[in-house]
Amino acid sequence: MSWTCHGKTNDEMVDALKRAGLVRSPEVEAAMRAVDRALFVPPQQAPYRDAPQPLSAGATISAPHMHAACLELLAEGGRLRPGARVLDVGSGSGYLTAVLAHLACRGEGGRVVGVEHIAELVEGSRAAVRRLGWAAEMMAGGQLRLVQGDGYAGYPECAPYDLIHVGAAAPRLPPALLAQLAGGGRLVAPVGPEGGPQQLVV
Protein backbone atom coordinates (compact mmCIF):
# COMPACT_ATOMS: atom_id res chain seq x y z
CA MET A 1 0.00 0.00 0.00
CA SER A 2 3.02 2.30 0.10
CA TRP A 3 3.21 5.15 -2.39
CA THR A 4 -0.60 5.33 -2.63
CA CYS A 5 -1.42 7.27 0.54
CA HIS A 6 -2.25 10.59 -1.10
CA GLY A 7 -4.64 13.27 0.09
CA LYS A 8 -5.80 16.77 -0.74
CA THR A 9 -5.29 17.87 2.87
CA ASN A 10 -3.06 16.83 5.73
CA ASP A 11 -5.95 15.01 7.42
CA GLU A 12 -6.80 13.14 4.20
CA MET A 13 -3.16 12.05 3.91
CA VAL A 14 -3.18 10.71 7.49
CA ASP A 15 -6.51 8.99 6.84
CA ALA A 16 -4.96 7.22 3.83
CA LEU A 17 -1.94 6.16 5.89
CA LYS A 18 -4.32 4.72 8.51
CA ARG A 19 -6.30 2.78 5.93
CA ALA A 20 -3.05 1.31 4.62
CA GLY A 21 -2.10 0.17 8.13
CA LEU A 22 0.98 2.40 8.20
CA VAL A 23 -0.29 4.67 10.98
CA ARG A 24 -1.43 2.36 13.77
CA SER A 25 -1.01 4.10 17.12
CA PRO A 26 -3.27 6.95 18.29
CA GLU A 27 -0.21 8.92 19.42
CA VAL A 28 1.46 8.87 16.01
CA GLU A 29 -1.85 9.71 14.34
CA ALA A 30 -2.42 12.72 16.60
CA ALA A 31 1.11 14.01 16.07
CA MET A 32 0.93 13.70 12.27
CA ARG A 33 -2.40 15.54 12.30
CA ALA A 34 -0.91 18.29 14.49
CA VAL A 35 1.94 19.03 12.06
CA ASP A 36 0.74 20.17 8.64
CA ARG A 37 3.23 18.82 6.12
CA ALA A 38 2.51 21.77 3.79
CA LEU A 39 4.36 24.11 6.16
CA PHE A 40 7.58 22.20 5.47
CA VAL A 41 7.34 21.75 1.69
CA PRO A 42 7.90 24.50 -0.94
CA PRO A 43 4.56 25.89 -2.16
CA GLN A 44 5.06 24.68 -5.73
CA GLN A 45 5.33 21.05 -4.55
CA ALA A 46 2.63 18.53 -3.58
CA PRO A 47 2.93 18.15 0.22
CA TYR A 48 0.23 15.50 0.62
CA ARG A 49 1.34 13.27 -2.23
CA ASP A 50 2.87 9.99 -1.05
CA ALA A 51 6.21 10.59 -2.72
CA PRO A 52 9.45 12.41 -1.89
CA GLN A 53 9.26 16.14 -2.64
CA PRO A 54 12.16 18.42 -3.61
CA LEU A 55 13.42 20.95 -1.10
CA SER A 56 16.19 23.48 -1.65
CA ALA A 57 19.90 22.67 -1.99
CA GLY A 58 19.18 19.43 -3.84
CA ALA A 59 17.59 17.80 -0.80
CA THR A 60 14.21 16.05 -0.55
CA ILE A 61 11.61 15.37 2.12
CA SER A 62 10.77 11.69 2.44
CA ALA A 63 7.41 10.29 1.36
CA PRO A 64 4.68 10.29 4.03
CA HIS A 65 4.59 6.48 4.19
CA MET A 66 8.30 6.44 5.08
CA HIS A 67 7.78 8.95 7.87
CA ALA A 68 4.82 6.94 9.19
CA ALA A 69 6.80 3.69 9.14
CA CYS A 70 9.74 5.23 11.01
CA LEU A 71 7.49 6.88 13.59
CA GLU A 72 5.73 3.60 14.33
CA LEU A 73 9.08 1.80 14.67
CA LEU A 74 10.29 4.45 17.10
CA ALA A 75 7.01 4.34 19.03
CA GLU A 76 6.95 0.55 19.55
CA GLY A 77 6.83 -0.46 23.18
CA GLY A 78 5.84 3.04 24.31
CA ARG A 79 9.32 4.41 23.67
CA LEU A 80 8.22 7.59 21.88
CA ARG A 81 6.44 9.15 24.82
CA PRO A 82 6.31 12.48 26.66
CA GLY A 83 9.69 12.97 28.33
CA ALA A 84 11.70 11.00 25.76
CA ARG A 85 15.02 12.32 24.46
CA VAL A 86 15.19 12.07 20.68
CA LEU A 87 17.84 12.82 18.03
CA ASP A 88 16.78 13.30 14.39
CA VAL A 89 19.80 13.03 12.07
CA GLY A 90 19.45 14.67 8.67
CA SER A 91 16.46 16.70 9.81
CA GLY A 92 16.11 18.48 6.45
CA SER A 93 12.79 20.31 6.27
CA GLY A 94 12.21 19.85 10.01
CA TYR A 95 8.86 18.11 9.46
CA LEU A 96 9.68 14.83 11.18
CA THR A 97 11.55 16.68 13.94
CA ALA A 98 8.38 18.66 14.66
CA VAL A 99 6.26 15.49 14.73
CA LEU A 100 8.76 13.92 17.13
CA ALA A 101 8.60 17.03 19.32
CA HIS A 102 4.81 16.78 19.52
CA LEU A 103 5.26 13.26 20.89
CA ALA A 104 8.27 13.74 23.18
CA CYS A 105 8.50 17.34 24.36
CA ARG A 106 5.21 17.49 26.24
CA GLY A 107 6.66 15.62 29.21
CA GLU A 108 9.21 16.71 31.80
CA GLY A 109 12.74 16.28 30.45
CA GLY A 110 11.54 15.67 26.90
CA ARG A 111 13.88 16.97 24.25
CA VAL A 112 14.20 16.63 20.48
CA VAL A 113 17.27 17.68 18.51
CA GLY A 114 17.32 17.85 14.72
CA VAL A 115 20.78 17.96 13.12
CA GLU A 116 21.20 19.01 9.48
CA HIS A 117 24.44 19.85 7.64
CA ILE A 118 22.91 22.25 5.07
CA ALA A 119 22.55 25.72 6.61
CA GLU A 120 19.78 26.74 4.20
CA LEU A 121 17.65 23.81 5.31
CA VAL A 122 18.26 24.53 8.99
CA GLU A 123 17.04 28.10 8.56
CA GLY A 124 14.03 26.93 6.55
CA SER A 125 13.11 24.33 9.16
CA ARG A 126 13.30 26.89 11.95
CA ALA A 127 11.04 29.24 10.00
CA ALA A 128 8.51 26.44 9.43
CA VAL A 129 8.50 25.45 13.10
CA ARG A 130 7.85 29.06 14.12
CA ARG A 131 4.57 28.85 12.20
CA LEU A 132 3.40 26.11 14.59
CA GLY A 133 2.62 27.93 17.82
CA TRP A 134 3.22 25.03 20.20
CA ALA A 135 6.44 24.01 18.42
CA ALA A 136 7.71 27.60 18.41
CA GLU A 137 7.27 27.65 22.20
CA MET A 138 9.21 24.39 22.51
CA MET A 139 12.01 25.83 20.39
CA ALA A 140 12.10 29.03 22.43
CA GLY A 141 12.27 26.96 25.62
CA GLY A 142 15.12 24.79 24.34
CA GLN A 143 13.13 21.55 24.30
CA LEU A 144 13.22 21.51 20.49
CA ARG A 145 16.51 22.31 18.79
CA LEU A 146 17.32 22.53 15.08
CA VAL A 147 21.07 22.81 14.64
CA GLN A 148 23.59 22.75 11.83
CA GLY A 149 26.26 20.07 12.00
CA ASP A 150 27.51 16.68 10.91
CA GLY A 151 24.63 14.39 11.74
CA TYR A 152 26.82 11.30 11.81
CA ALA A 153 28.68 12.92 14.72
CA GLY A 154 25.39 13.22 16.55
CA TYR A 155 24.85 15.96 19.12
CA PRO A 156 26.74 14.99 22.28
CA GLU A 157 25.59 18.06 24.21
CA CYS A 158 22.13 16.54 24.78
CA ALA A 159 23.11 12.84 24.83
CA PRO A 160 22.22 10.16 25.73
CA TYR A 161 19.12 9.69 23.59
CA ASP A 162 16.31 7.22 24.10
CA LEU A 163 15.63 7.28 20.36
CA ILE A 164 17.70 8.16 17.31
CA HIS A 165 16.28 8.47 13.81
CA VAL A 166 18.61 8.72 10.81
CA GLY A 167 17.02 10.06 7.64
CA ALA A 168 19.91 9.56 5.22
CA ALA A 169 21.39 6.19 4.31
CA ALA A 170 24.88 5.27 5.50
CA PRO A 171 27.03 2.28 4.49
CA ARG A 172 27.13 1.30 8.18
CA LEU A 173 25.81 2.62 11.46
CA PRO A 174 27.93 5.60 12.59
CA PRO A 175 29.77 4.69 15.82
CA ALA A 176 29.22 8.17 17.29
CA LEU A 177 25.47 7.69 17.12
CA LEU A 178 25.62 4.29 18.77
CA ALA A 179 27.73 5.83 21.54
CA GLN A 180 25.03 8.46 22.16
CA LEU A 181 22.19 5.94 22.40
CA ALA A 182 20.96 5.33 25.94
CA GLY A 183 20.89 1.81 27.33
CA GLY A 184 17.75 0.11 26.07
CA GLY A 185 17.31 2.84 23.47
CA ARG A 186 16.36 2.39 19.83
CA LEU A 187 17.99 3.63 16.63
CA VAL A 188 16.20 3.51 13.26
CA ALA A 189 18.32 4.07 10.16
CA PRO A 190 18.54 3.08 6.47
CA VAL A 191 21.83 1.23 5.94
CA GLY A 192 23.40 0.35 2.59
CA PRO A 193 25.56 1.70 -0.24
CA GLU A 194 24.63 4.96 -1.95
CA GLY A 195 22.55 4.16 -5.02
CA GLY A 196 22.38 0.50 -4.01
CA PRO A 197 20.03 -1.67 -1.95
CA GLN A 198 19.32 -0.31 1.51
CA GLN A 199 17.72 -1.84 4.57
CA LEU A 200 15.92 -0.10 7.41
CA VAL A 201 17.84 -1.18 10.51
CA VAL A 202 16.35 -1.06 14.00
93 has catalytic annotation: no
Which of 62, 91, 93, 125 is labelled catalytic?
62
User: Residues near 40 by Cβ (< 8 Å), separated by ≥ 6?
Assistant: 47, 61, 93, 94, 95, 98, 125, 128
Compute the distance between CA of residue 32 and CA of residue 11 in angstroms, rounded to an integer: 9
> How far, CA to CA in Å, does 137 sit from each of 48, 66, 127, 132?
26, 27, 13, 9
* Count of residues making up the chain: 202
Compute the distance between CA of residue 165 and CA of residue 97 in angstroms, rounded to an integer: 9
Residues noted as catalytic = 62
